[in-house]
Amino acid sequence: MPGLMPRPRTCLIRGGAVVNADGERRADVLVEGETIVLVEAELDARALPPNTRVIDASGKLVFPGFIDPHVHVHLPFMGTNAADDHDSASRAALAGGTTTIIEMICPGPKDEPLASFEEWHTRAAASSRCDFAFHQAVVRWDDLAKSQLRELVDTQGQTSVKVFLAYKGALDLPDAQLLELLDFSAQEGVIVTAHCENADAVAYMQARLLAEGKTGPEWHEPSRPTCVEADGVQHFATCCQLTGAHGYVVHTSCRAALEQAARARKRGANIQVECVVPHLVLDDSCTHRPNFEGAKFVMSPPLRTFADQQALWEGLASREVATIGTDHAPFHFATQKVMGRERFTAIPNGIGSIQERIDLVHTYGVCAGRLTYAAMVDACSTQVARTFGLFPRKGTIAPGSDADIVVYDPARRGTFRHADNQGALDYCAYEGMERIGATETVLRRGEVVVEHGRTIAPPGGGRYLRRERRTS
């Protein structure tokens, strides 16, 4: 009849094991339009509309869409720009089961926050297949920046920022400005994410090593050792405690840094810890590979020892470490990493991991007996949503939540291969490593965007996510 609204598309995911942060159970999931409407032990498909799509998840796991809390897509850095754009990065993310990304906006010291937000938002809105939000990096703090950041919080739901205790003279803030920003954030309900190192110590060590003729990628880690990272965590936590700000330590790489965060929490600091997947499965021996191949593995903080890996896995199991991201920052080996052939300080920092994250956590976390499925979902989806103002819209399979759903085959076996990656990077940091499990089907707000492991969604279907201020 004229004037009737079309019925929203209906989808039934049947026969799978639904995994949320509180456990798993056999259940069917009914989706109408963009929303989950029922999660029940057994739903009768015969009672549903005739055009209902039925996805058989028998023998599979059904996860909430995964959320990557720490990615770089549009990234001007060290004289170049990251290899991905929002088209390629989101294509790879969806193929790996990630339906939402939180990207770092990384302006220069002279750039204004509003203009930077508009630049990143315009790029993402044009071609991102994933839903997306941002952390706004604050690399200047003056009256204009303060006014514009408040406007972004009020009008755009931009309720998280990023600070750097690293990259001296380029991205770091003096302590007086850092404290003012933290005080502002505490008052405005904004969470502050932080790259924690000691910028002065790193600059000193870099200069000393280069003066000694130590120029290869294997010297990147000694230029910013674990004590430098631990010192940064301690310093950031102290500033958070003084101001009452909610702090979130990104890409924590070592036991010493974890211990500082734990001590700070005992003192009353409101601090959460993130780790990223390269630090869980790669170690510092990678940067010693011959023929400059070690440059593929240069990131900051650096890859650490096997013992530090174990500390991170233990922290995840105990939930001392809240989340697992990627710090996805892809730079081509053939044309970009080689910029640092003469000195390690010119190697663009970063490892691409946006597609591999979930399979790596499944293989080396769950299948190795280090994590339960529920803990994996908690760290890779639910806690991210809770921390950054997206829960329960994202991060869980429950009535009323967005129908971001991953049907996952836990029995698929193979190895990680660059040939399988759907992003733009010219190498895979995990090439040849064992891989157990694979994303089979992905729904983004009720629309099937991945089939048989291949992204089928066209560019531009992602949606910007406004977030609420934090109240605690």
Average pLDDT value for residue range 185-210? 96
User: Do 82 and 113 meet the contact criterion of CB atoms below 8 Å apart?
Assistant: no
Region class of 97: left (phi > 0), else alpha (psi between -120 and 50), else beta: left
Residues 94, 130: Cα–Cα separation, whole Å: 7
How far CA 413 is from CA of 61, 79, 271, 357, 375, in Å, comes to: 15, 39, 38, 16, 22
pLDDT in tens, 306-361: 999 999 999 999 999 999 999 999 999 999 999 999 999 999 999 999 999 999 99
Return the SS3 of 149.
helix
Q: Residue 31: beta bridge partners?
A: 11, 36
C-alpha span between 392 and 272 (Å, rounded) = 19
Q: What is the DSSP letter of 384?
A: H
What per-residue confidence (pLDDT) applies to 77? Answer: 77
Q: What's the pLDDT score for residue 271?
A: 97
DSSP 9: P
* Predicted pLDDT of residue 8: 66
Do residues 261 and 273 touch, judged by C-beta distance below 8 A? yes
Neighbouring C-beta atoms of residue 251, cutoff 10 Å: 23
Band (pLDDT 50/70/90 cuts) for residue 7 is: low
Estimate to the nearest angstrom the gap between the alpha carbon of 225 and the chain centroid: 23
CA-CA distance, 321 to 93, in Å (whole number)? 22
Is the pLDDT confidence value at 4 over 60? no
How much is the pTM? 0.96
| Token couple for 235 | 């310093």
All domains in the chain, ordered by first residue: 10-63+400-411+429-455 (2.30.40.10), 65-387 (3.20.20.140)
Quick check: 1 pLDDT over 50? no
Mean pLDDT of the chain: 95
Determine the Cα–Cα distance for residues 202 and 229; give it in Å rounded to an integer: 10
Confidence of residue 414 (pLDDT cuts 50, 70, 90): very high
Distances (CA, A) of 177 to 1, 5, 64, 114: 63, 53, 39, 19
Residues linked to residue 271 through DSSP beta bridges, in sequence order = 247
Distances (CA, A) of 50 to 2, 10, 15, 53: 21, 9, 19, 9
How is residue 402 written in tokens? 């967005």
pLDDT of residue 5 exceeding 50, the answer is no
CB 95 within 8 A of CB 408: no
State how far the Cα of 96 lies from the Cα of 421, in Å rounded to an integer.
Answer: 9
pLDDT at 295 over 70: yes
pLDDT at 469: 85
Residue ranges with strand state E in 73-231: 76-77, 80-81, 98-105, 131-137, 160-165, 191-196
Note whether 394 and 404 are within 8 A (CB). Answer: yes
**Stretch 280-305: mean pLDDT:** 98
For the stretch 385-397, pLDDT in tens is: 999 999 999 999 9
Cβ contacts of 443 within 8 Å, gap of 6 or more: 11, 13, 31, 65, 403, 404, 405, 406, 449
Sequential DSSP letters for 246-291: EEEE-S--SHHHHHHHHHHHHHT-EEEEEEEHHHHH--GGGGG-TT
- What is the SS3 assignment for 123? helix
β-pair partners for 195: 164
The angle that helices 143-156 and 175-188 make with each other, rounded to 10 degrees, is 30
The pLDDT of residue 6 is above 70: no
Radius of gyration of the chain (CA): 22
Residue 109: CB atoms within 10 A of its CB come to 11
Q: What is the Cα–Cα distance from 60 to 164, expressed in whole angstroms?
A: 41
**152-197 tens-digit pLDDT:** 999 999 999 999 987 766 767 889 999 999 999 999 999 999 999 9
Question: What's the Cα-to-Cα distance from 466 to each of 35, 313, 389, rounded to whole Å?
Answer: 18, 32, 9
Give me 272's structure tokens.
């959460």
Strand ranges, E, within 82-238: 98-105, 131-137, 160-165, 191-196
Enter the tokens of residue 98.
């990630």
Q: Which residues pair with 435 in a beta bridge?
A: 414
Q: What is the widest separation between alpha-carbon atoms in the chain?
A: 81
Q: What whole-number distance in Å separates Cα of residue 358 and Cα of residue 439? A: 9
